[in-house]
């Protein structure tokens, strides 16, 4: 047994002896010494190259693994059935979508009009605002892009569907302005009849889901200007853009009640109720 084990390592001992002979001979034979030095340098270079390649492959694998883990849908389990449930199908499991939806519903109608204008501007349109508290002829925004003009009407309706009468009024505003296309932006939906009438006359109705998708498409979550509008809880006067302040009515039909009044009073006498009525301008 000992003899067999020794034979297994004979090639190792032979290699060591050969290297020793070469090393000794190289001390007296310069060409051999130079060759050994060159071979040693080449071995070091090849080892470094292999190390770099291996490191690169490892980094690429880790990057792909991380990307796959981040893109994988979140999963939870239904406690009643113990079946896995994919959260990806529900938009409110995406933080940015949830925050957009919540913010759109808590802002006032004037902020809603401003965020819609900013979104279209980020999408490459030249936007002219005609809304606010001033007479707008049924059109809040005029969009211009590639020689085409589109009228936009914004209604911060959270519980009221767009009906036929409203679409007809908007259609009349388009005809009066000499425009052929329009967009009606709201948070709720529309009746079937109103949708059919709108489609026949080149009017697009955007609901809350469509507005959120538009904000996502322009990366509003990472845009400082869009975030400033979305997160700004300050109310501004739709008439003169001054800050609105809470005031208490001293007289009138509801003395003691609170309302939003323009800080530019008496220069501007615009007021808004604390809880804006659905369908406000």
Mean pLDDT check: name the lowest of 66-70, 106-110, 125-129, 235-239: 66-70
Q: What mean pLDDT do residues 225-249 have? A: 82
Task: List the domains of the chain with CATH numbers.
Answer: 2-64 (no CATH), 108-233 (3.40.1350.10), 234-281 (no CATH)
Model pLDDT for residues 18-71, shown as the tens digit of each residue: 666 666 666 676 776 677 677 777 878 787 888 888 787 878 776 666 554 444
Among 132-136, 175-179, 239-243, top mean pLDDT goes to: 175-179
Longest Cα–Cα distance in the chain: 116
Name 253's Cβ contacts closer than 8 Å, sequence gap at least 6.
Answer: none
pTM of the predicted protein model:
0.56
Place of tokens 């239904």: 78
Q: What mean pLDDT do residues 115-126 have? A: 94
For residues 243 and 147, the answer to whether their CB atoms sit within 8 Å is: no
Q: What pLDDT, on the 0 to 100 scale, is given for residue 279?
A: 38
In the structure, what pLDDT confidence band is assigned to residue 163 with cuts at 50, 70 and 90? Answer: very high
Name 204's Cβ contacts closer than 8 Å, sequence gap at least 6.
Answer: 181, 182, 183, 184, 198
In the structure, what pLDDT confidence band is assigned to residue 8 with cuts at 50, 70 and 90? Answer: low
Show the tokens assigned to 209.
Answer: 């889901």
Q: What mean pLDDT do residues 119-130 have? A: 92
Model pLDDT for residues 72-82, shown as the tens digit of each residue: 444 444 444 44
Is 70 exceeded by the pLDDT of residue 246? yes
Name 261's Cβ contacts closer than 8 Å, sequence gap at least 6.
Answer: 244, 245, 246, 247, 270, 271
Is 80 exceeded by the pLDDT of residue 137? no
Q: Percent of the chain, pLDDT > 70? A: 70
Show the tokens assigned to 35.
Answer: 């060759």
Mean pLDDT of the chain: 77
Model pLDDT for residues 165-219, shown as the tens digit of each residue: 999 999 999 999 999 999 999 998 899 999 999 999 999 999 999 999 999 999 8
């Amino acid at each position: 047994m000992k003899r067999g084990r020794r034979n297994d390592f004979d090639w190792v001992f032979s290699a060591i002896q050969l290297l020793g002979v070469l090393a000794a001979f190289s001390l007296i034979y310069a060409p051999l010494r130079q060759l050994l030095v060159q071979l040693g340098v080449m071995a070091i270079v090849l080892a470094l190259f292999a190390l770099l390649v291996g490191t690169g492959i490892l980094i690429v694998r880790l990057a792909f693994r991380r990307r796959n883990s981040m893109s994988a849908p979140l999963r939870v389990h239904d406690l009643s059935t113990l079946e896995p449930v994919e959260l990806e199908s529900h938009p409110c499991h995406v933080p940015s979508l949830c925050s957009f939806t919540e913010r759109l519903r808590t802002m006032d109608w004037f902020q809603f009009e401003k965020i819609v204008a900013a979104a279209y501007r980020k999408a490459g349109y030249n936007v002219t605002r005609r809304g606010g508290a001033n007479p707008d002829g049924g059109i809040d925004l005029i969009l211009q892009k590639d020689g085409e003009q589109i009228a936009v009407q914004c209604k911060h309706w959270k519980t009221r569907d767009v009906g036929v009468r409203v679409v007809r009024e908007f259609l009349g505003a388009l005809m009066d302005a000499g425009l052929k296309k329009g967009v009606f932006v709201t948070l709720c939906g529309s009746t079937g009849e109103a949708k059919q009438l709108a489609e026949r006359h080149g009017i697009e109705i955007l609901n809350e889901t469509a507005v959120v998708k538009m904000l996502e498409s322009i990366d509003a979550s990472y845009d400082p200007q869009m975030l400033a509008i979305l997160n700004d809880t300050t109310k501004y006067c739709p008439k003169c853009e001054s800050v609105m302040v809470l005031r208490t009515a001293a007289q009138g039909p509801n003395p003691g009640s609170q309302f939003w009044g323009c800080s530019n009073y008496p220069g501007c006498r615009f007021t808004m109720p604390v809880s804006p009525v659905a369908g406000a301008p």
